[in-house]
Chains A and B, each alone.
Chain A
Amino acid sequence: MPVISLQNLKKSYALGDNTVHALRGVSLDIEEGEFVAITGPSGSGKSTMMHILGCLDRPTEGHYLLGGEDVSNLSRDALADIRNRQIGFVFQGFNLLPRTTAVENVEVPLLYSRPLLPAAERRQRALEALDSLGLSQRADHHPSQLSGGQQQRVAIARALVNKPSLILADEPTGNLDTKTSIEVMRLLQNLRESLGITIVLITHEPEIAAYGTRIIAVRDGEIVSDVANTPTPMEHVEEDQEQSEPALAAANA
């Protein structure tokens, strides 16, 4: 059973007197463990697709099955619960709460989990998530005290803390330099390999899309190509990360 199944999905907005058709009938299945890169120029509808995939928005027509459940017509609060339990978001601008420590940022999704975990357990899980991304030393740092790469890793830790089945990354490297971008992409690749998490990545950069196992191109609200891809190899990831880690630490010191 596919993790994600879009069936003739349409989305239109009223913009003034005109109706904008952002999605014009998209059908798509994504299997568990896939790393799908969705590419397309701005205005192609890829952002709308991301919003619907992320249960932030509802389609005008068609069906969206997430883990076999039709979520197309759920209430706001029901969608909030699905986002909380099943989807981890990684945003372009990191979207970390300012003046809030890394570990507290990672804890935020746990605050909205039902049933609510005890404070000690929330802290424990947040620290574990940070630790798995090599950030345990930075747990008490505020976002302003972290480098861009570190901030994005905190954001990824936040996306992982509730053990979701799907990670949605919306231009995760948009605010990062090339070197850090590669780092973050390898991290995502690594998550897929080790945890088997399905990842959907939205990007307009072909080099970033190349890290996926499948590349889908969207244009004018329709899928124009859907090809399997041999992801950019991860071979030298380990050494590179080892190199960058002290370098970042030094830069921050």
Chain B
Amino acid sequence: MLINLHTATRALRQNRLQAALTLCGMSIGVAMVVIVSGLGRGAQLQIESQIESAGPTLISVRSGNFSTAAVTGNGEQDSSGGEVSQGPVDPFGLQTDPISDAAPVTPVTVRKTRHRSPAWPLTQAEVDAIASQVEDVRSVAASVAGNVSLDEQPQLRIRVARVHGFQTDWEVMSGWKVLRGRMVTAQEHAAGTPVMLVSPAVAQRLWPDQDPLLQQLSFAGQDVAVVGVVDIEDESSSIVVPTVHVPMTLAQQLLDGQSFDEINVRSRSVATTSGVAQAIRRVLREQRQLADDTFDDFRVTTQSTSSMPSLGTDPRLSRAVHANLVELEKVSWEEMAASLRQAGRTFTLLLTGAAAVSLLVGGIGVMNIMLVSVVARTREIGLRLALGARMQDIMLQFIAEAVTLAVAGGCLGLVLGYLGLLVAQQSFHWAAVLEPAMVMAALVMAMLTGIVFGYGPARRAARLDPVVALKAE
């Protein structure tokens, strides 16, 4: 094979201009393949991320359980306040439910159970358990908050600040956006570096008309510097006690405690959210060794359940809707996701057609130069046959030449395609992704093109009559 490669490169060097032109043709084909797959993959990822970001994937875990009666998506008893009911729930108060055949409501039976008191706080062990034992979890992060006295600072009129400690990824899950400065880095999270983030409102209140990035607060002799101003939706910062956001390790040190208030979990997709919520509940019950007849001493809430009204509704109706809502929501999301994906596929298919055509044109170029090469080198072929080359030897030699040409064009095409993707990304703001597997696929395509279009000319060469070929000029 190596010999063939050697012969091939030499033969191509003898025909520089033609080889170069063919190379260009081939490279355009491969560049198209790269661009198409890059754009297709980019669009696909964008669709996926849209699907994900649109759907409720956030799950919140809090310590303690003071909620009213509720049931999980499976109709399992979740955490009841002691209310006991028997038999199936009839949301319309009718003995005969007219729609129960079409949409059966899960029957719920609530057993009498007991609370554990007081509730256990959330700990790092539970964060780790969720991260390691629950599938389809994208990220887990805990937070804690508490009031901490400030050291006297002449220009400040406040004495207490609410310190909110958060772990890596919390800011992503909560959708924080940096307005000025920067986020807390992973290293700072790990080390508990004394840095903090504030919202614009808090910054304005603490340091009116000053640059917040130059400010710091001092807690028990420790100076904590502001590194970023972030846009935080629904921040519960009161006028009297402003909230500052610091790395978890630092907050635990300032608050002198190891426990968390809340753990946020982001599931991998909408479709898995309810499953993840149930799995979290199971893992936490195991972790806390809760007996079967004991209530959860924590609460697992998804965005869909938390958005349900809980007051002013017939508790039985509320429970029934809760029991089915998650499933309903999941189905409609999945449908939307499917239609979006279908649109993405159609887009990719169209582009693939264009790529296939340009690859075909490149392949025809390869075939052309190979046919020319076979004619020009008839005498050489005759000589090789006379010296004992079998048909397959000649076939291999010419296919190797075609493949060398096609792959060289492919490499050039990769570069062109990469540049094309960059242009698409920078100038048109199209989503484009280039993965190693796609690069490999493009090269394999180039190689296959070489084999397919080199086959004909190679066969023609191999079938030459040695006597006739030797006489050729």
Query: With A57-B467, A111-B3 as given contacts, are A95 and B10 in contact (CB-CB < 8 Å)?
Result: no
Residue with the greatest number of chain B CB neighbours at <10 A, chosen from A56, A85, A100, A158: A56
Residue pair B386, A112 in contact (C-beta under 8 Å): no
Residue pair A158, B387 in contact (C-beta under 8 Å): yes
How distant is A106 from chain B, measured CB to nearest CB, in Å? 11
Tell me if A109 counts as interface (CB < 8 A to partner B): yes
Residue pair A84, B467 in contact (C-beta under 8 Å): no
The answer for the CA separation of A80 and B392 in the assembled complex, in Å, is 11
A67-100 at interface with B (beta carbon < 8 Å): 76-77, 80-81, 83-85, 89, 91, 95, 97-100
Q: List 7 A-B contacts (CB under 8 A).
A: A77-B390, A77-B392, A84-B387, A91-B470, A108-B383, A108-B384, A113-B388
Residue numbers in B under 8 Å from A111 (CB-CB):
3, 389, 393
What are the interface flags for B301-340 relative to A under an 8 Å C-beta threshold, 1 for contact and 0 otherwise? Answer: 0000000000000000000000000000000000000000
Contact partner, A83, options B10, B13, B387, B391, Cβ 8 Å:
B387
Contact partner, B388, options A57, A100, A112, Cβ 8 Å:
A112
Chain B residue with minimal CB distance to A84? B388
The answer for the CA separation of A98 and B380 in the assembled complex, in Å, is 9
Residue numbers in A under 8 Å from B155 (CB-CB):
none
Contact partner, A89, options B3, B13, B386, Cβ 8 Å:
B386
Residue pair B10, A100 in contact (C-beta under 8 Å): yes
Residue pair B383, A97 in contact (C-beta under 8 Å): yes
Residue numbers in B under 8 Å from A163 (CB-CB):
none
Tell me if B95 counts as interface (CB < 8 A to partner A): no
What are the interface flags for B239-283 relative to A under an 8 Å C-beta threshold, 1 for contact and 0 otherwise? Answer: 000000000000000000000000000000000000000000000
Residue pair A56, B386 in contact (C-beta under 8 Å): yes
Contact partner, B386, options A54, A76, A113, A162, Cβ 8 Å:
A54
Residue numbers in A under 8 Å from B385 (CB-CB):
56, 80
For chain A, the count of residues having a C-beta within 8 Å of the partner chain is 25
Tell me if B187 counts as interface (CB < 8 A to partner A): no
Residue pair A85, B379 in contact (C-beta under 8 Å): no
The answer for the CA separation of A112 and B379 in the assembled complex, in Å, is 17
Residue numbers in B under 8 Å from A192 (CB-CB):
none
Apart from A57-B466, A84-B388, list 9 A-B contacts with CB within 8 A.
Answer: A56-B466, A77-B390, A83-B386, A83-B387, A83-B388, A85-B388, A95-B383, A97-B380, A112-B389
What are the interface flags for B368-381 relative to A under an 8 Å C-beta threshold, 1 for contact and 0 otherwise? Answer: 00000000000110
What are the interface flags for A213-235 relative to B under an 8 Å C-beta threshold, 1 for contact and 0 otherwise? Answer: 00000000000000000000000
Contact partner, B389, options A80, A85, A99, A158, Cβ 8 Å:
A80
What are the interface flags for A32-62 relative to B under an 8 Å C-beta threshold, 1 for contact and 0 otherwise? Answer: 0000000000000000000100101100000
Residue numbers in B under 8 Å from A99 (CB-CB):
10, 13-14
Query: With A80-B385, A95-B379 as given contacts, are A51 and B390 in contact (CB-CB < 8 Å)?
Result: no
The answer for the CA separation of A109 and B3 in the assembled complex, in Å, is 13
The answer for the CA separation of A95 and B13 in the assembled complex, in Å, is 20
Chain A residue with minimal CB distance to B382? A95
Chain A residue with minimal CB distance to B471? A47
Residue pair B470, A112 in contact (C-beta under 8 Å): no
What are the interface flags for A111-131 relative to B under an 8 Å C-beta threshold, 1 for contact and 0 otherwise? Answer: 111000000000000000000
Residue pair B391, A76 in contact (C-beta under 8 Å): yes
How distant is A162 from chain B, measured CB to nearest CB, in Å? 8
Residue numbers in A under 8 Å from B10 (CB-CB):
99-100
Contact partner, B387, options A51, A57, A89, A98, Cβ 8 Å:
A89
Chain B residue with minimal CB distance to A113? B388
Chain A residue with minimal CB distance to B383? A95
Residue numbers in B under 8 Å from A54 (CB-CB):
386
The answer for the CA separation of A54 and B14 in the assembled complex, in Å, is 31
Residue numbers in A under 8 Å from B391 (CB-CB):
76-77, 80
Residue pair A56, B467 in contact (C-beta under 8 Å): yes
Residue numbers in A under 8 Å from B389 (CB-CB):
80, 111-112
How distant is B376 from chain A, measured CB to nearest CB, in Å? 12
Residue with the greatest number of chain B CB neighbours at <10 A, chosen from A76, A80, A98, A162: A80
Residue with the greatest number of chain A CB neighbours at <10 A, chosen from B10, B387, B393: B387
Chain B residue with minimal CB distance to A158? B387
Residue numbers in A under 8 Å from B387 (CB-CB):
83-84, 89, 108-109, 112, 158
| In the A-B complex, the 7 residue pairs with the closest CB atoms | A84-B388, A112-B388, A109-B387, A77-B390, A56-B466, A95-B383, A112-B389
The answer for the CA separation of A108 and B385 in the assembled complex, in Å, is 11
Residue numbers in B under 8 Å from A91 (CB-CB):
383, 470
Residue numbers in B under 8 Å from A83 (CB-CB):
386-388
How distant is A56 from chain B, measured CB to nearest CB, in Å? 5
